[in-house]
C-alpha cells in the first residue's frame, strides 16, 4: 500500500467534479496522468513514476497504452535507424571476435 497525502490544487470550477476519484482504479489513472507531463519532459522515468504510484513499470505502461500514450516515441524511420546501428555494432563486434581467435 502506498502512503498518500492530500494536496490542494487550483482548478477551474467546472473541472473539480472530474477530479474526485470514484474508485481506486480511477484514482490510479488520475494520478498516473498527473505524472505524465514529468515523464514527457524527462524529470522522472516511467519506473520512477510507477514506484511513486506503487505499481510495476509494465502496469504503468499498460495504463498509458490504454489511454493512447505510447511508451516509445520514435517514428518508424528513427526506429529503423536505431536497429541498423545496432546491427552494425553487432557485426563489428563479431568481426573483432573472429580476429582474436
- Cβ pair 71, 64 in contact under 8 A: yes
| pLDDT for the residue 67 | 95
Q: How confident is the model at residue 101 (pLDDT cuts 50, 70, 90)?
A: low
Q: Quick: pLDDT tens for 24-72.
A: 999 999 999 999 999 999 999 999 999 999 999 999 999 999 999 988 7
Contacts of 59 (CB under 8 A, 6+ apart): 50
| pLDDT for the residue 18 | 87
What are the domain boundaries of the chain?
Answer: 22-70, 73-101
Q: Looking at residues 60-89, what average pLDDT do you find? A: 88
| pLDDT for the residue 68 | 92
Asked whether the predicted pLDDT for residue 17 surpasses 70, the reply is: yes
| pLDDT for the residue 35 | 97
Asked whether the predicted pLDDT for residue 77 surpasses 90, the reply is: no
- Cβ pair 46, 60 in contact under 8 A: yes
* Cα 41 off chain centre by: 11
Asked whether the predicted pLDDT for residue 73 surpasses 80, the reply is: no
Amino acid at each position: 500500500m502506498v502512503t498518500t497525502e492530500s494536496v490542494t490544487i487550483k482548478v477551474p470550477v467546472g473541472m473539480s467534479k472530474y477530479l474526485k476519484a470514484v474508485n481506486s482504479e480511477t484514482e490510479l489513472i488520475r494520478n498516473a496522468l498527473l505524472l505524465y507531463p514529468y515523464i514527457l519532459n524527462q524529470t522522472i522515468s516511467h519506473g520512477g513514476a510507477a514506484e511513486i504510484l506503487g505499481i510495476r513499470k509494465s502496469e504503468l505502461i499498460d495504463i498509458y497504452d490504454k489511454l493512447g500514450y505510447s511508451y516509445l516515441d520514435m517514428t518508424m524511420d528513427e526506429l529503423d535507424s536505431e536497429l541498423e546501428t545496432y546491427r552494425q555494432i553487432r557485426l563489428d563486434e563479431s568481426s573483432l571476435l573472429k580476429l582474436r581467435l
